[in-house]
Amino acid sequence: MYQFQLSNAHLGTRILVNDPVGWDSLKTELVRDATYKGISITASSDLEFVKDGRNYLLAAEQNEGIEANVACTLKEYNPNTFGYEEKLTGRIGFDKFKDDGIRVSADITQDTTAQLLLNQDDVEVNLLSDRAINGNPLPSSVNYLQEVELHSKVILQKYRGRSKGQANASYPTFVTEGWARSPYILFGFNEVELNELNLTNTMSGFLTYDGPVEIPEVYKSDAMGRFDISLNIDATITIGLVDGDFDKATIWYYFRVNNGPEQQFAYFSTSTAGGTLKERLTGVFSASLNLNKGDKVYVYGRVLVEDVSGSYRLNYVIQMADASFLYIDFQGSTSPTPCKGMLVHEAFSRVCESLLGRSPAFYSEFFGRTDSQAIAYAQDGKGSLLFYTGGFQISNFPLQYESGTGGVSARPLTANFKDLFEGLDALYCLGCGIEKINGVEMVRVEPLSYFFRKEVVAELGEVTKLTRSVAMEYHYSAAEFGFQKWKTGQENSLDEFNAKQTSLTPLTQTKNKYSKLSKLIGGGFLIEEARRKQYEPEEDQQSDSADDDSKFIVCLLRDNDNVFVTERNQVIELGNVYSPETVYNARLSPKRRLTETDHGRVLKGALLKQMQKQVAFSPKSEGNFRAGTKYPGEAEFLYEDSSIAVADLPEAMWVPEYFEFEAPLSEGQVSAIMSNPYGMVGFVNTLKPGSPKGYGFILSMEQEKDTSLAKFKLLGAYGE
């Protein structure tokens, strides 16, 4: 005995007195989503609703049109419990709505939660809004926000400038007497090989006018740290008279910081100039010192002309020799800065709540924590301590919810489900499905292996129409892991290990590439670049960084006071990395995506007959692939440019082959599959000698209500 039930938020729930026409040909389908890997259980049939069913659907269509959200639930009477039990639920599809005055035709499509998610997975959501897209109220976003102190990554910035082929620079002074006798010399380097410090390319010349001169600095520090300078000034200074006469001239080269003492590194003096002077003076200087943010560094020369007779006007000429150079290395850091954002569980939760119009709406034991919102868990998941934020938030632009901000300066934190899922899937190999948890349909995200479980849910025995075929889409000749964006535009970012890494498998009969590059930014150089561009409220500034609207992730730890702090190298040792004690996201290194996550299991399935070979490092990889990581207890470093033996990859997730067949199902088997569609289905594999048992994961299953026969498509399970 069956029962049909229609439910709508505005019309309430109604148990139909008149069953829809065609319900006895109802088809149950299980389909695994190609992107998210979860399984949807749907009822498919062109149903005709009459009388009370027709009236209900007409009212829903009149109220909401094709957006009407009507759930149709089929229940079956259980004589053992003397009650009706839910068999399946779907959504009435109003896109095919048709009314002929007697009956309304419609079909049952994917369940409501899955449909809402898939239709809106690319909708950008303001994570700070306390209302869902449909206007429903949500829990305050203040409870979801976290403020984390971002440490400063020490960055080595270099300048390499030389003088090459500079023409004589003539500077006749238009100041007579007085200050004309004591100009400053500026040294220019016209061939710049590297300029990570953004030095202004000053031309060689002289500064003089009737009054004190404010000379330009060579460098103004935007950080604090060790400053190393090495320079060689080889210049020919010519002093001539336009009018008058002089006998004595002195030349100095100086280095100083701020208004500190001048450090002389070249000197020349004569008292027999006789009205003209041409002197080649070379000065070599080097120093190592500590700078604070805002410190100014000066390199300059001075000329003093004395024993001048008559009314005079002087002409100065400088010629820089090709041997002249200025080299600077600055190992700089800045003070830590606060940053607002959400841990990944809260970001996922807020997106799902906004799309589905209710809370809670998201569940993940992998990303959940003992104190996560809107659901807390018994323990912190392996991926739980990951912080999600944006470029504007790193730069400390005000958030929308803060009072007194608004206008152009307010920058909310946003996300959409698709980008958030795909960005984290690249790092952790994830799946997503819809599950009822404590009676509520939830979006569930877990590692992919959760959706391909080594649990047998049904043994079907002998089957009919059995075929086996190669699943070529699961065979890969190459794989790439890491991050799409990691460069800062400066040479120093080549030290970044969270870049793009490519590996080559032993397979030659396919060109499929397993590409898992995250759109999220996890590189320490880009994080530090954004962090050093702090918002200045008095200027109401508009940032012009290309990464302002980008999304970032930061690995965290809990300190002894249970406060979230950035992870550096506290739990993982690094090799061949500059300033390892200030790195970001060491545990997200690309090589460990292959060896520690389900990505390695996905690749290994097609390599089971290549166990003596290796997944080879490709020189097409980018960034610092010389870097290595080592956890406590590991004997040696895992280097990013290492090749991995196939045998050392994690156990295969599946065998890339399809099994298709038909088999009758008992009610108990149907119930077991419906309750755990991610488990394995067993069958007698008559295609192999001896007809051993075979097992596979459901890709699709279809069964009509009036027959026990079901059609299956399975992906082969490994090791069973």
Q: What's the pLDDT score for residue 707? A: 78
Per-residue pLDDT tens over the stretch 316-332: 889 999 999 999 999 99
Per the model's pLDDT, the better-predicted residue between 74 and 434 turns out to be 434
Q: What's the pLDDT score for residue 69? A: 85
- CB atoms closer than 10 angstroms to residue 708: 14
Q: What's the pLDDT score for residue 106? A: 83
Give residue for tokens 């047998």. 456
Q: Which of 20-34, 158-172, 525-539 is the least confident region?
A: 158-172
Per-residue pLDDT tens over the stretch 43-97: 666 789 999 999 999 999 999 998 888 988 888 888 888 888 887 777 888 888 8
* 99 shares a domain with 174: no
User: Residue 446 domain-assigned?
Assistant: no
For the chain, report the end-to-end CA distance as a whole number of angstroms: 38
* 200 shares a domain with 102: no
* 227 shares a domain with 94: no
Per-residue pLDDT tens over the stretch 226-248: 999 999 999 999 988 766 788 89
Per-residue pLDDT tens over the stretch 340-397: 999 999 999 999 999 999 999 999 999 999 999 999 999 999 999 999 999 999 998 8
Q: What share of the chain is helix, strand, coil (3-state, %, to 5)?
A: 15, 45, 40
Q: What's the pLDDT score for residue 136? A: 93
* 192 shares a domain with 94: no
Q: Which of 20-34, 125-139, 140-154 is the least confident region?
A: 20-34
Average pLDDT over residues 434-450: 94
Q: What's the pLDDT score for residue 402? A: 46
**% of the chain surpassing 70 pLDDT:** 93
Question: Residue 695 sits in which domain range?
Answer: 457-471+652-717
Average pLDDT over residues 384-413: 76
User: Residue 274 domain-assigned?
Assistant: yes
Phi/psi of residue 518, each to 5°?
A: -80, 135
Q: How far apart, in whole angstroms, are the C-alpha atoms of residue 220 and residue 197?
A: 9
User: Residue 122 domain-assigned?
Assistant: no
Q: For residue 408, is pLDDT > 70? A: no
User: Residue 305 domain-assigned?
Assistant: yes
Q: What's the pLDDT score for residue 708? A: 87
Q: How far apart, in whole angstroms, are the C-alpha atoms of residue 14 and residue 347?
A: 36
* 250 shares a domain with 329: yes
Q: Which two tokens stand for residue 436?
A: 């009822």
Select from 318, 333, 348 the last residue of a domain.
333
* 160 shares a domain with 106: no
User: Residue 226 domain-assigned?
Assistant: yes
Phi/psi of residue 612, each to 5°?
A: -90, 0
Select from 276, 311, 333 the last residue of a domain.
333
Helix axes 344-356, 417-428, angle to 10 degrees: 150
* 74 shares a domain with 15: yes
User: Residue 693 domain-assigned?
Assistant: yes
Average pLDDT over residues 615-621: 96
User: Residue 594 domain-assigned?
Assistant: no
Q: For residue 720, is pLDDT > 70? A: no
**CA proximity to 504, closest of 599, 646, 616, 642:** 616
Q: Domain of 308: which CATH number? A: 2.60.120.40
Q: How many domains does the chain have?
A: 3
CA dihedral of residues 264, 265, 271, 272 (deg, nearest 10): -160
Per-residue pLDDT tens over the stretch 154-185: 999 999 999 987 766 566 655 556 667 888 99
* 92 shares a domain with 21: yes
* 198 shares a domain with 105: no
User: Residue 399 domain-assigned?
Assistant: no
Select from 294, 318, 333 the last residue of a domain.
333
| 649 exposure class (CB count in 10 Å sphere: 0-12, 13-18, 19+) | buried
Q: For residue 1, is pLDDT > 90? A: no
**CA proximity to 598, closest of 446, 719, 471:** 446
Q: For residue 541, is pLDDT > 80? A: no
pLDDT band at 406 (very low <50, low <70, confident <90, very high): very low
Tell me what the pLDDT averaged over the chain comes to: 90
* 173 shares a domain with 45: no
Q: Domain of 703: which CATH number? A: 2.40.30
Taken in order 566, 569, 572, 578, is the CA torsion positive or negative?
A: positive
Per-residue pLDDT tens over the stretch 651-672: 999 999 999 999 999 988 988 9
* 81 shares a domain with 189: no
Instruction: Give per-residue burial for 392-415: e unless 16+ CB within 10 Å, then b.
Output: bbbbbbbbebeeeeeeebebbbbb
* 172 shares a domain with 314: yes
Q: Which of 4-18, 175-189, 609-623, 656-670 is the least confident region?
A: 175-189
